[in-house]
A and B are shown apart, each in its own frame.
Chain A
Amino acid sequence: MPKPDLREQPSSQGQAAPAEAASSAGRPAKPGRPAKPARHPDSLKGTILKVVLLGLVDAFAVYVLMMLFLSQSWAALAVSSLVVLAINWIYLRKGGLPAKYLAPGVLFLLVFQVLVVVFSGYIAFTNYGDGHNSTKDDAISAIQLTAQKRVPDSPAYKASVLTKDNEFYLLFTDPAGRAQLGSSEDPLAEAPDAGKDSTGKANSLPGYQTLKFQEIVANQQEILKITVPVSDDPADGTLRTADGSTAYQFKPALKYDAATDTFVDTETGTEYRDNGKGAFADPNGEALATGWKIDVGMDNFVRAFTDPSLRGPLVGVILWTFTFSIASVALTFVMGLFLAMTFNREDLRGKKAYRILMILPYAFPAFLSGLVWSGILNPEFGWLNQTLLGGANIGWLTDPVLAKISVLVVNVWLGFPYMFLVCTGALQSLPSEIDEAARMDGASAWRVFRSIKLPLLLVSVAPLLISSFAFNFNNFNVIYMLTGGGPRFADTDRDIGSTDILITLVYKVAFGQGTGRDYGLASALAIIIFIIVATISAISFKQTKALEDVN
């Protein structure tokens, strides 16, 4: 490898690898300078450090690869192995210095920013969500477990509730007096060591604690959920208790026939077939709640714009998202610019105090601002209605129009200090000669501002306005914390409201309470946001030539 010529431009630096730092010891001394002995106190230390760090990374990588192997995730294993190899190649080879500095950040960037967006793109074309979150095989056994009915005239088992390591177990005594133990995870097993009370009911087992009546009441919810499989085959049914003292045998109400790939209702004889949409459905189209994940193509996008409970609200949400982000940028900019011009006077007394007090909202954590304002504006108990307006009942957060105005006011509160700071900086960097020259020519102050200062100012702040727009387009916190998207639209049963913007809608569709989670639809909406933001920033950046200074 050629030694870097020291007078050359930085391009040569790209070829020096850390391990080679020592090699420059052999370089010829520069003429005209006393030859100094080259010192490399860190080169050995550096090499050792590098080996240790890489070793730690590799040790961790081997652990991850082993876990992936054990869980039989072959695709992930293959990709991870390639990544580990690439990391080692980057740091062990000579040269390729830029990669050594870029690799750690780029790795995180690729996984948690680029990969997740690609993954979103994939999810948008599936029906992933509640009831559709696994494979078909999982769905079949889940249906057998959940759709259960008590076996008619089946005997009653006596039951006690035991606990061990925070897990609940049921100890049964069958009509013949045999004791058996099981939990939701562990199928029924004989428990010959069980202690019995005077009625012959097994009520204790060494190593387990028996729950007292009060404890059973306190843990009612969990105890009701315990379903003890009779055997490893889900078709054999389960044992359950409703009161913690007696249990009955339940069997699947739906029987799966692997040959025809259908479920048959054991009572009515109704057949449920694979409906091609990731679920079993009866001839009337009524589907079972548990389904599986399949690719649905454009279905989520089509649904978003055709489903009557979604189409109207979604159009409203998209329009409001644009209104909100444009109005936010415009209002904060106008206010910030006005303030910047007002206080752009060196001889104004108290200027510093005003400035510090006015940027306080910007320093206040954004998520708290929404919550605090929601208290002030609360229609029933809030300060604005109760104290300032003397007990008025104005729906600042519950009326569709007022709620939108409130959201904008709060967002202006949050955002004007930023624009104030930015505009102050931009104004002060304008050369003062402009002002003088224009005044000499007889231009009014307004004319100077409109025709000279504003255009110059816009050149420098335009990129910031664009990023401010992109930020507000996804300004989740202020909306979610202030109104939660509400008030809800009347024409839909979904949780969508007048102040919802696209990103809050994504969050509510994917993780909202009440309605089931629909990851597919949420990802489709996220992809729509992605496309909108990409289009807008592409156009606007082209126009502002902001990219020119990237040489």
Chain B
Amino acid sequence: MSVGTFASSKETTFDGGPSPLAQKRRPFGVWFKDKGWRHVVGIITTIFAVFPLLYVLSAALDSNGTLVGSNGLFSRFDTGNFVALFSDPTRPFGRWFVNTLVVGTVTSAATVFLGAMAAYAFSRMRFKGRRMGLLTLLLLQMFPQLLAVVAIFLLLSGISQVIPALGLGSQLGLIMVYLGGALGVNTYLMYGFFNTVPQSLDEAAKIDGASHVQIFFGIILRLVTPILAVVGLLAFIGISSEFVIASVVLTDPDSQTLAVGLYSYVAQQRSENWGVFAAGAVIAAIPVMALFLFLQKYIVSGLTAGSVKG
């Protein structure tokens, strides 16, 4: 990013861009041709981008509740929908929220750990099949787990006959399934980052008598914390939006995640439950969006390094 800033500011200087004083005196037409249209584009795009979010916020704050009733944007403000959201025993929103946090946190922490271990091996060790392994991981990214959702369902239903705690309906089982995708998506991204940590650091530590475990935990992991945060966050966002596998594995309302639960809110009677659904959507979205915006810078650098959301 800093390189770009430098480049474009240089460009302005080269063009001999008008000084701020001169800018003020420019006629509107020239200003519009140079910059004004950019603002028009910006405003239109912003409306397109933000409107649905304002719409759902408005619907959440209007206890009128139905889809038709939500059309008058911000015509009422009350918290009736939020109260209704937390008081429906057949749709335990609080539980869904906790479930999503638990499944998301455990999975993303384990994903980061498994991915980091694999990336360490690929980046710092040379072994037979290393190149093949990296290529395989790169290709596996192309095949998301949801393609095999039928087989996952049948495999877990087989497992539940033997160990019910890991089979269908169990969050532990779901986490295990998600961990199957841990290496494919993230190792390659982390591998690139691990390579940027100079080998000389490891060697120096080795000379001081550090074991490979100490090098891994004490040096490498500390130096790549930003990428660990990005991978963990992207995993968390991806998992909290994951619907297909979660809907197949988690059948009991008490164990479901937000994606599955909130879908059931509107699957049958979209228009009647609209207000309550909107309230749930707002609460579900706020933590993810806050995290995202907070770590925006890191995520952007992670994105351009080749990861895809989802």
* Interface residues, chain A, with chain B CB atoms under 8 Å away: 6, 9-11, 13-14, 16, 18, 21, 24-25, 30, 36, 38-40, 42-43, 46, 63-64, 67-68, 71, 73, 76, 97-98, 101-102, 104-106, 108-109, 111-113, 115-117, 119-120, 123, 128, 338-339, 342-348, 350, 354, 356-369, 371-376, 378, 380-383, 386-387, 413, 417-418, 421-422, 424-432, 435-436, 463-464, 467-468, 470-471, 474-477, 480-481, 503, 506-507, 510-511, 519, 522-523, 526, 529-530, 533-534, 537, 547, 550-551
For chain B, what secondary structure do more than half of its interface residues adopt (helix, strand, loop), or is it mixed? helix
Q: Smallest CB–CB gap between B51 and chain A, Å?
A: 8
Contact assessment for A477 and B151 in the assembled complex, using a CB-CB cutoff below 8 Å: no
With an 8 Å Cβ cutoff, the count of chain B residues facing the other chain is 123
A367 touching B259 by the CB < 8 A rule? Answer: yes
Number of A-B contacts (CB under 8 A): 351
Chain A min CB distance to B67 (Å)? 4
Contact string against A for B residues 187-212, beta-carbon threshold 8 Å, 1 for contact and 0 otherwise = 10000000000010011001111011
The closest CB in chain A to the CB of B281 belongs to A368
Instruction: Given contact pairs A381-B71, A464-B306, enumerate 11 new A-B contacts (beta carbons under 8 Å).
Output: A10-B126, A30-B207, A68-B162, A105-B187, A108-B114, A357-B46, A368-B241, A374-B270, A387-B73, A417-B49, A550-B131
* Residues on the A chain within 8 Å of B53, using CB: 360-361, 364
Partner of B303, one of A346, A348, A418, A534: A418
B127 contacts the other chain (Cβ, under 8 Å)?
Answer: yes
Residues on A with C-beta less than 8 A from B181 are 109, 112-113
B11 contacts across to A, CB distance below 8 A: 432, 435-436
Contact B67 A381 (CB under 8 A): yes
User: A97 near B38 (CB under 8 angstroms)?
Assistant: no
Asked whether A64 lies within 8 Å of B117 as measured between CB atoms, the reply is no
8 Å CB contact of B10 from A115, A380, A432, A510: A432
CB-based contact A123/B209 at 8 Å: no
Q: Which of B77-85, B86-94, B141-149 is near enough to bind chain A?
A: B141-149
B1 interface hit (Cβ, 8 Å) = yes
B98 in the interface, Cβ–Cβ < 8 Å?
no
Complex contacts, A529 vs chain B, CB 8 Å? 147
Q: Are B67 and A382 in contact (CB under 8 A)?
A: yes
B285 at the A interface (CB under 8 A): yes
14 residue pairs of the A-B complex, CB under 8 angstroms, read A67-B162, A101-B125, A104-B114, A105-B115, A108-B114, A361-B53, A366-B310, A372-B56, A425-B4, A470-B142, A471-B144, A474-B146, A503-B244, A506-B147
What residues on A are CB-neighbors of B161 within 8 Å? 71
B152 surroundings in chain A (CB, below 8 A):
112, 116
Q: A108 CA to B55 CA in the complex, in Å? A: 41
What residues of A have a CB within 8 angstroms of the CB of B281 in the complex?
368, 371-372
B203 touches A117 (CB 8 A): no
Q: Cα distance A106–B127 when bound, in Å?
A: 16
How many angstroms between the C-alpha atoms of A360 and B54 in the bound complex?
Answer: 11
CB distance from B242 to the nearest CB of A (A): 8
Docked-complex contact B213 and A18, CB < 8 angstroms: yes
**Contact between B147 and A112, CB atoms less than 8 A apart:** no
Residues of B within 8 A of A128 (CB): 154
Q: Tell me the smallest distance from the CB of A140 to a CB of chain B, in Å.
A: 20
What are the residues of chain A within 8 A of B158 when measuring CB–CB?
76
CA of A456 to CA of B222, assembled, Å: 35
Query: Which residue of chain A is the closest to B34 with respect to CB atoms?
Result: A345
Which chain A residues border B27 with CB–CB below 8 Å? none
Q: Return chain A residues, CB-CB under 8 Å to B105.
A: none
Is B225 interfacial (CB 8 A cutoff)?
no
Q: Which of B174-188 contact A (CB under 8 A)?
A: 176-177, 179-184, 187
Given the known interface contacts A64-B163, A104-B117, A506-B149, the answer about A363 and B271 at a Cβ–Cβ threshold of 8 Å is: no
Contact with A along B223-257 (1 / 0, CB 8 A): 00000000000000100110110011000000000
The distance from the CB of B160 to the nearest CB of chain A, in whole angstroms, is: 11
**Least distance between A42 CB and chain B CB atoms (Å):** 6
* CB atoms of A507 and B49 under 8 A apart: no
Task: Collect the chain B residues with CB atoms within 8 Å of residue A530's CB.
Answer: 143, 147
Residue B221 interfacial (CB < 8 Å):
no
In the bound complex, CA of A350 to CA of B66 (Å): 37
Contact indicator A511/B71 (Cβ below 8 Å): no
